[in-house]
Structure 1
Amino acid sequence: MVVPVRKRLDRHEWAAAALDALAAGGLAAVAVEPIAARLGATKGSFYHHFRNRDALVDAALELWELRNTDAVIAATGDPADARAALRNLLGTVLGSVTAEPGDLARGHAVEMALQADGRHPAVAAALERVSHRRIEHLTALFADLGLAPDEAAHRALLAFTAYLGHVQLARATPDLLPRGAALDAYLDGMLAALTGAPRTP
Protein backbone atom coordinates (compact mmCIF):
# COMPACT_ATOMS: atom_id res chain seq x y z
CA MET A 1 0.00 0.00 0.00
CA VAL A 2 1.30 3.45 -0.95
CA VAL A 3 1.17 5.96 1.88
CA PRO A 4 0.61 9.51 0.57
CA VAL A 5 3.46 11.88 1.33
CA ARG A 6 2.24 14.87 3.26
CA LYS A 7 3.42 18.24 2.06
CA ARG A 8 5.70 20.20 4.38
CA LEU A 9 3.90 23.48 5.02
CA ASP A 10 5.43 26.77 6.04
CA ARG A 11 4.06 29.33 8.48
CA HIS A 12 2.66 31.51 5.68
CA GLU A 13 0.57 28.64 4.25
CA TRP A 14 -0.95 27.97 7.66
CA ALA A 15 -1.75 31.68 8.11
CA ALA A 16 -3.31 31.87 4.63
CA ALA A 17 -5.45 28.82 5.36
CA ALA A 18 -6.55 30.41 8.63
CA LEU A 19 -7.56 33.54 6.70
CA ASP A 20 -9.64 31.39 4.34
CA ALA A 21 -11.33 29.83 7.36
CA LEU A 22 -11.96 33.29 8.84
CA ALA A 23 -13.50 34.51 5.59
CA ALA A 24 -15.80 31.50 5.42
CA GLY A 25 -16.87 31.11 9.05
CA GLY A 26 -15.46 33.81 11.30
CA LEU A 27 -13.06 33.40 14.16
CA ALA A 28 -14.71 30.21 15.39
CA ALA A 29 -13.77 28.52 12.11
CA VAL A 30 -10.05 28.93 12.83
CA ALA A 31 -9.57 25.48 14.30
CA VAL A 32 -6.36 23.50 13.96
CA GLU A 33 -7.70 20.05 13.05
CA PRO A 34 -10.09 21.12 10.24
CA ILE A 35 -7.45 23.41 8.75
CA ALA A 36 -4.84 20.64 8.94
CA ALA A 37 -7.24 18.25 7.21
CA ARG A 38 -7.93 20.80 4.47
CA LEU A 39 -4.21 21.31 3.94
CA GLY A 40 -3.40 17.59 4.06
CA ALA A 41 -1.08 18.29 7.00
CA THR A 42 -0.62 16.94 10.49
CA LYS A 43 -1.06 18.69 13.80
CA GLY A 44 2.68 18.15 14.21
CA SER A 45 3.22 20.47 11.26
CA PHE A 46 1.08 23.07 12.99
CA TYR A 47 2.98 22.83 16.27
CA HIS A 48 6.26 23.12 14.38
CA HIS A 49 5.25 26.71 13.52
CA PHE A 50 2.84 27.80 16.26
CA ARG A 51 2.58 27.42 20.02
CA ASN A 52 -1.20 27.27 19.97
CA ARG A 53 -4.33 28.42 18.14
CA ASP A 54 -3.96 32.00 19.42
CA ALA A 55 -0.59 32.22 17.69
CA LEU A 56 -2.21 31.06 14.44
CA VAL A 57 -4.93 33.70 14.81
CA ASP A 58 -2.25 36.35 15.35
CA ALA A 59 -0.38 35.20 12.23
CA ALA A 60 -3.58 35.29 10.18
CA LEU A 61 -4.36 38.81 11.37
CA GLU A 62 -0.84 39.95 10.49
CA LEU A 63 -1.22 38.48 7.00
CA TRP A 64 -4.60 40.17 6.55
CA GLU A 65 -3.06 43.49 7.57
CA LEU A 66 -0.16 43.01 5.17
CA ARG A 67 -2.36 42.04 2.21
CA ASN A 68 -5.29 44.36 2.76
CA THR A 69 -3.61 47.45 4.14
CA ASP A 70 0.15 47.67 3.64
CA ALA A 71 0.20 46.11 0.16
CA VAL A 72 -2.84 48.09 -1.00
CA ILE A 73 -1.37 51.40 0.16
CA ALA A 74 1.95 50.58 -1.51
CA ALA A 75 0.30 49.59 -4.80
CA THR A 76 -2.23 52.37 -5.29
CA GLY A 77 -0.19 55.31 -6.36
CA ASP A 78 2.43 57.94 -5.78
CA PRO A 79 1.46 60.29 -2.95
CA ALA A 80 3.03 63.08 -5.03
CA ASP A 81 -0.23 63.01 -7.03
CA ALA A 82 -2.64 62.79 -4.11
CA ARG A 83 -5.84 63.03 -6.15
CA ALA A 84 -4.80 60.22 -8.51
CA ALA A 85 -3.59 58.14 -5.57
CA LEU A 86 -6.90 58.67 -3.76
CA ARG A 87 -8.96 57.68 -6.79
CA ASN A 88 -6.77 54.66 -7.44
CA LEU A 89 -7.07 53.58 -3.81
CA LEU A 90 -10.85 53.94 -3.75
CA GLY A 91 -11.19 52.25 -7.13
CA THR A 92 -9.03 49.34 -6.03
CA VAL A 93 -10.79 48.63 -2.74
CA LEU A 94 -14.35 49.29 -3.92
CA GLY A 95 -13.87 47.51 -7.23
CA SER A 96 -12.37 44.44 -5.60
CA VAL A 97 -15.47 44.01 -3.42
CA THR A 98 -17.42 42.80 -6.47
CA ALA A 99 -14.50 41.27 -8.36
CA GLU A 100 -13.65 37.60 -8.71
CA PRO A 101 -12.37 36.08 -5.46
CA GLY A 102 -8.74 36.88 -4.73
CA ASP A 103 -6.56 37.96 -1.85
CA LEU A 104 -8.11 41.42 -1.61
CA ALA A 105 -11.73 40.29 -1.99
CA ARG A 106 -11.12 37.50 0.54
CA GLY A 107 -9.72 40.14 2.85
CA HIS A 108 -12.99 42.07 2.70
CA ALA A 109 -14.83 38.92 3.82
CA VAL A 110 -12.29 38.54 6.63
CA GLU A 111 -12.91 42.15 7.61
CA MET A 112 -16.65 41.62 7.96
CA ALA A 113 -16.06 38.46 10.00
CA LEU A 114 -13.66 40.34 12.26
CA GLN A 115 -16.14 43.16 12.78
CA ALA A 116 -18.56 40.54 14.13
CA ASP A 117 -15.86 39.18 16.46
CA GLY A 118 -14.58 42.60 17.49
CA ARG A 119 -14.70 41.87 21.23
CA HIS A 120 -11.97 39.25 20.98
CA PRO A 121 -8.79 40.96 22.30
CA ALA A 122 -6.56 40.04 19.34
CA VAL A 123 -9.24 40.98 16.84
CA ALA A 124 -10.00 44.27 18.58
CA ALA A 125 -6.29 45.16 18.57
CA ALA A 126 -5.95 44.29 14.87
CA LEU A 127 -9.06 46.26 13.87
CA GLU A 128 -7.89 49.29 15.84
CA ARG A 129 -4.39 49.13 14.36
CA VAL A 130 -5.61 48.64 10.78
CA SER A 131 -8.34 51.27 11.01
CA HIS A 132 -5.88 53.87 12.35
CA ARG A 133 -3.37 52.99 9.64
CA ARG A 134 -5.94 53.37 6.87
CA ILE A 135 -7.38 56.61 8.22
CA GLU A 136 -3.88 58.06 8.70
CA HIS A 137 -3.05 57.28 5.07
CA LEU A 138 -6.30 58.78 3.82
CA THR A 139 -5.80 61.84 6.02
CA ALA A 140 -2.35 62.37 4.52
CA LEU A 141 -3.79 62.21 0.99
CA PHE A 142 -6.51 64.74 1.80
CA ALA A 143 -3.94 66.98 3.50
CA ASP A 144 -1.80 66.80 0.35
CA LEU A 145 -4.82 68.12 -1.55
CA GLY A 146 -4.59 71.27 0.57
CA LEU A 147 -7.19 70.58 3.25
CA ALA A 148 -6.55 71.69 6.82
CA PRO A 149 -5.64 68.88 9.23
CA ASP A 150 -9.07 68.67 10.92
CA GLU A 151 -10.86 68.76 7.58
CA ALA A 152 -8.50 66.15 6.10
CA ALA A 153 -9.20 63.85 9.04
CA HIS A 154 -12.95 64.38 8.62
CA ARG A 155 -12.83 63.48 4.90
CA ALA A 156 -10.65 60.46 5.66
CA LEU A 157 -13.19 59.13 8.14
CA LEU A 158 -15.99 59.67 5.60
CA ALA A 159 -14.03 57.74 2.97
CA PHE A 160 -13.23 54.89 5.35
CA THR A 161 -16.80 54.50 6.57
CA ALA A 162 -18.02 54.58 2.95
CA TYR A 163 -15.66 51.69 2.23
CA LEU A 164 -16.96 49.71 5.23
CA GLY A 165 -20.53 50.32 4.10
CA HIS A 166 -19.63 49.16 0.60
CA VAL A 167 -18.17 45.94 1.98
CA GLN A 168 -21.25 45.37 4.15
CA LEU A 169 -23.54 45.83 1.13
CA ALA A 170 -21.43 43.34 -0.81
CA ARG A 171 -22.13 40.79 1.90
CA ALA A 172 -25.82 41.53 2.42
CA THR A 173 -27.24 43.02 -0.82
CA PRO A 174 -24.59 42.80 -3.57
CA ASP A 175 -27.05 43.72 -6.33
CA LEU A 176 -27.07 47.30 -4.99
CA LEU A 177 -23.37 47.84 -5.74
CA PRO A 178 -22.20 49.61 -8.91
CA ARG A 179 -20.01 47.69 -11.33
CA GLY A 180 -18.10 48.49 -14.52
CA ALA A 181 -18.97 51.90 -16.00
CA ALA A 182 -21.42 52.52 -13.16
CA LEU A 183 -18.60 52.06 -10.67
CA ASP A 184 -16.45 54.56 -12.57
CA ALA A 185 -19.25 57.13 -12.42
CA TYR A 186 -19.81 56.35 -8.74
CA LEU A 187 -16.11 56.86 -8.01
CA ASP A 188 -16.11 60.19 -9.84
CA GLY A 189 -19.06 61.39 -7.76
CA MET A 190 -17.58 60.06 -4.53
CA LEU A 191 -14.24 61.74 -5.21
CA ALA A 192 -15.99 65.02 -6.06
CA ALA A 193 -17.95 64.88 -2.81
CA LEU A 194 -14.90 64.00 -0.73
CA THR A 195 -12.58 66.59 -2.22
CA GLY A 196 -15.07 69.46 -2.69
CA ALA A 197 -15.27 72.71 -0.77
CA PRO A 198 -14.73 72.48 2.99
CA ARG A 199 -17.78 72.49 5.22
CA THR A 200 -19.06 75.79 6.46
CA PRO A 201 -18.89 76.24 10.26
Structure 2
Amino acid sequence: MVTKIDWLDAGLKVLADEGSPALTIERLTTELGLSKGSYYHHFKGTGGFRTALLEHFENSFTTRLIDTVERRPEADAATKLTELMELVLADADSVRLEIAVRAWALQDPEARAAQERVDQARIAYLQELCRGISSMKEPDHLARLLYLILIGAEQIVPPVPGAELRALYATTLTLATGEPFLS
Protein backbone atom coordinates (compact mmCIF):
# COMPACT_ATOMS: atom_id res chain seq x y z
CA MET A 1 0.00 0.00 0.00
CA VAL A 2 1.39 3.37 -1.01
CA THR A 3 1.37 5.92 1.79
CA LYS A 4 1.00 9.68 1.74
CA ILE A 5 4.75 9.93 2.35
CA ASP A 6 5.40 7.76 -0.72
CA TRP A 7 3.38 10.23 -2.80
CA LEU A 8 5.26 13.18 -1.30
CA ASP A 9 8.67 11.56 -1.81
CA ALA A 10 7.71 10.89 -5.44
CA GLY A 11 6.66 14.53 -5.71
CA LEU A 12 10.03 15.72 -4.40
CA LYS A 13 11.77 13.49 -6.95
CA VAL A 14 9.65 14.84 -9.82
CA LEU A 15 10.17 18.40 -8.59
CA ALA A 16 13.96 17.94 -8.40
CA ASP A 17 14.15 16.21 -11.80
CA GLU A 18 11.62 18.20 -13.83
CA GLY A 19 10.55 21.30 -11.88
CA SER A 20 7.20 22.43 -10.51
CA PRO A 21 5.31 22.36 -13.85
CA ALA A 22 5.73 18.57 -13.83
CA LEU A 23 3.84 18.21 -10.54
CA THR A 24 0.68 16.92 -12.19
CA ILE A 25 -1.56 14.07 -11.14
CA GLU A 26 -0.74 12.29 -14.39
CA ARG A 27 3.02 12.60 -13.88
CA LEU A 28 2.84 11.45 -10.26
CA THR A 29 0.60 8.47 -11.00
CA THR A 30 3.01 7.47 -13.76
CA GLU A 31 5.96 7.83 -11.39
CA LEU A 32 4.35 5.51 -8.86
CA GLY A 33 2.44 3.29 -11.28
CA LEU A 34 -0.83 3.97 -9.48
CA SER A 35 -4.31 5.25 -10.23
CA LYS A 36 -5.74 8.68 -9.61
CA GLY A 37 -7.97 7.16 -6.96
CA SER A 38 -4.96 6.46 -4.78
CA TYR A 39 -3.86 10.07 -5.19
CA TYR A 40 -7.29 11.42 -4.20
CA HIS A 41 -7.36 9.08 -1.22
CA HIS A 42 -4.49 11.12 0.27
CA PHE A 43 -4.95 14.62 -1.19
CA LYS A 44 -7.76 17.01 -2.01
CA GLY A 45 -6.61 17.86 -5.50
CA THR A 46 -3.48 19.49 -6.78
CA GLY A 47 -3.63 22.37 -4.30
CA GLY A 48 -3.73 20.00 -1.34
CA PHE A 49 -0.87 17.97 -2.76
CA ARG A 50 1.30 21.03 -3.35
CA THR A 51 0.68 22.34 0.17
CA ALA A 52 1.57 18.95 1.64
CA LEU A 53 4.64 18.72 -0.61
CA LEU A 54 5.98 22.08 0.57
CA GLU A 55 5.42 21.03 4.20
CA HIS A 56 7.19 17.73 3.50
CA PHE A 57 10.13 19.59 1.95
CA GLU A 58 10.35 21.90 4.97
CA ASN A 59 10.14 19.01 7.43
CA SER A 60 12.59 16.77 5.56
CA PHE A 61 15.25 19.33 4.65
CA THR A 62 15.09 21.77 7.56
CA THR A 63 13.23 20.58 10.64
CA ARG A 64 14.59 17.02 10.47
CA LEU A 65 18.19 18.24 10.15
CA ILE A 66 17.86 20.61 13.11
CA ASP A 67 16.15 17.91 15.17
CA THR A 68 18.92 15.44 14.31
CA VAL A 69 21.61 17.84 15.50
CA GLU A 70 19.63 18.69 18.65
CA ARG A 71 19.37 15.03 19.67
CA ARG A 72 22.62 15.68 21.50
CA PRO A 73 21.76 18.77 23.54
CA GLU A 74 24.94 18.37 25.60
CA ALA A 75 27.14 18.94 22.51
CA ASP A 76 28.73 22.35 22.25
CA ALA A 77 27.75 24.79 19.50
CA ALA A 78 30.88 24.18 17.42
CA THR A 79 30.22 20.41 17.41
CA LYS A 80 26.59 21.01 16.44
CA LEU A 81 27.60 23.38 13.65
CA THR A 82 30.06 20.81 12.30
CA GLU A 83 27.43 18.06 12.48
CA LEU A 84 24.86 20.25 10.71
CA MET A 85 27.29 21.04 7.90
CA GLU A 86 28.13 17.36 7.48
CA LEU A 87 24.42 16.47 7.28
CA VAL A 88 23.80 19.15 4.67
CA LEU A 89 26.84 18.18 2.61
CA ALA A 90 26.09 14.45 2.83
CA ASP A 91 23.08 14.69 0.51
CA ALA A 92 24.46 15.82 -2.85
CA ASP A 93 21.13 15.01 -4.54
CA SER A 94 19.33 17.67 -2.51
CA VAL A 95 21.01 20.42 -4.55
CA ARG A 96 18.64 19.88 -7.50
CA LEU A 97 15.66 19.93 -5.16
CA GLU A 98 16.78 23.14 -3.45
CA ILE A 99 17.17 24.82 -6.84
CA ALA A 100 13.75 23.57 -7.98
CA VAL A 101 12.01 24.85 -4.85
CA ARG A 102 13.66 28.28 -5.21
CA ALA A 103 12.59 28.43 -8.86
CA TRP A 104 9.05 27.44 -7.86
CA ALA A 105 9.06 30.15 -5.16
CA LEU A 106 9.69 32.79 -7.85
CA GLN A 107 6.40 31.85 -9.55
CA ASP A 108 4.07 30.77 -6.75
CA PRO A 109 3.09 32.68 -3.57
CA GLU A 110 2.60 29.54 -1.49
CA ALA A 111 6.00 28.17 -2.51
CA ARG A 112 7.52 31.58 -1.78
CA ALA A 113 6.03 31.62 1.71
CA ALA A 114 7.40 28.11 2.35
CA GLN A 115 10.85 29.11 1.05
CA GLU A 116 10.83 32.18 3.30
CA ARG A 117 9.99 30.00 6.33
CA VAL A 118 12.77 27.57 5.42
CA ASP A 119 15.33 30.33 4.94
CA GLN A 120 14.34 32.06 8.18
CA ALA A 121 14.47 28.82 10.18
CA ARG A 122 17.82 27.82 8.77
CA ILE A 123 19.39 31.23 9.35
CA ALA A 124 17.94 31.48 12.88
CA TYR A 125 19.40 28.08 13.78
CA LEU A 126 22.78 28.99 12.32
CA GLN A 127 22.70 32.24 14.31
CA GLU A 128 21.93 30.32 17.50
CA LEU A 129 24.88 28.01 16.88
CA CYS A 130 27.27 30.81 15.92
CA ARG A 131 26.32 32.82 19.03
CA GLY A 132 27.25 29.78 21.11
CA ILE A 133 30.86 29.85 19.90
CA SER A 134 32.67 32.33 22.16
CA SER A 135 35.49 33.05 19.71
CA MET A 136 33.05 33.81 16.87
CA LYS A 137 33.31 37.34 15.51
CA GLU A 138 30.00 38.83 14.28
CA PRO A 139 28.01 35.59 14.81
CA ASP A 140 24.77 36.81 13.19
CA HIS A 141 26.56 38.04 10.08
CA LEU A 142 28.63 34.88 9.91
CA ALA A 143 25.52 32.71 10.15
CA ARG A 144 23.98 34.54 7.21
CA LEU A 145 27.28 34.31 5.29
CA LEU A 146 27.48 30.53 5.84
CA TYR A 147 23.96 30.16 4.46
CA LEU A 148 24.66 32.43 1.50
CA ILE A 149 27.76 30.40 0.68
CA LEU A 150 25.59 27.28 0.51
CA ILE A 151 22.92 28.92 -1.66
CA GLY A 152 25.51 30.40 -4.00
CA ALA A 153 27.40 27.11 -4.22
CA GLU A 154 24.17 25.40 -5.30
CA GLN A 155 23.29 28.02 -7.90
CA ILE A 156 26.46 28.17 -9.96
CA VAL A 157 26.84 25.73 -12.84
CA PRO A 158 28.09 23.20 -12.08
CA PRO A 159 27.38 23.40 -8.33
CA VAL A 160 30.39 23.49 -6.03
CA PRO A 161 31.30 19.91 -5.01
CA GLY A 162 30.87 18.97 -1.36
CA ALA A 163 34.59 18.65 -0.63
CA GLU A 164 35.27 22.14 -1.97
CA LEU A 165 32.28 23.56 -0.09
CA ARG A 166 33.54 21.91 3.10
CA ALA A 167 36.94 23.60 2.54
CA LEU A 168 35.24 26.97 1.95
CA TYR A 169 33.36 26.57 5.23
CA ALA A 170 36.54 25.62 7.08
CA THR A 171 38.31 28.72 5.76
CA THR A 172 35.37 30.98 6.58
CA LEU A 173 35.01 29.62 10.10
CA THR A 174 38.73 29.77 10.75
CA LEU A 175 38.76 33.42 9.69
CA ALA A 176 35.74 34.14 11.90
CA THR A 177 37.08 32.42 15.02
CA GLY A 178 40.83 32.88 14.65
CA GLU A 179 41.32 29.16 15.24
CA PRO A 180 41.21 26.07 13.00
CA PHE A 181 37.65 24.89 12.41
CA LEU A 182 36.34 21.72 10.77
CA SER A 183 38.80 18.93 10.23
Q: TM class, shorter-chain normalised? A: 0.7 to 0.9
| Correspondence 1:162 to 2:149 | yes
Q: CA RMSD in A?
A: 2.4
Show the counterpart of 1:113.
Answer: 100
Point out where structure 1 has 5 or more consecutive residues left out of the alignment.
1-7, 98-104
Q: What is residue 192 of structure 1 aligned with on the other side?
A: 174
CA contact 2:105–2:115 (8 Å) conserved in 1: yes
Aligned residues: 176
Report deviation, 1:11.
Answer: 1.1
Residue in structure 2 matching 1:84, options 79, 82, 89? 79
Counterpart of 1:145 in 2: which secondary structure? Answer: coil
1:17 is displaced (CA, Å) by: 0.8
Q: Secondary structure, in 3 states, of the residue corresponding to 1:117?
A: helix
Contact 1:135 1:157 in 2 (8 A): yes
Query: Which residue among 177, 181, 187 is the counterpart of 2:161?
Result: 177
> What TM-score, normalized by structure 2, do the two folds share?
0.84
Shift of 1:55: 1.1
Secondary structure of the residue aligned to 2:105 is: coil
Residues 183, 18 of structure 1: alpha-carbon distance in 2 compared, 3 angstrom cutoff: closer
- State the TM-score, normalizing by the size of structure 1: 0.77
Does the alignment pair 1:128 with 2:116? yes
Q: Which residue of 2 aligns with 1:144?
A: 132
Deviation at 1:158, TM superposition (A): 0.4
Which amino acid in 2 is paired with 1:86? L
Structure 2: state its 5+ residue gaps. Answer: none
- Aligned residue type for 2:117: R
Alignment of 1:33-52 (within 5 A): 33-52=26-45
Query: In structure 1, what residue type is equivalent to 2:111?
Result: V
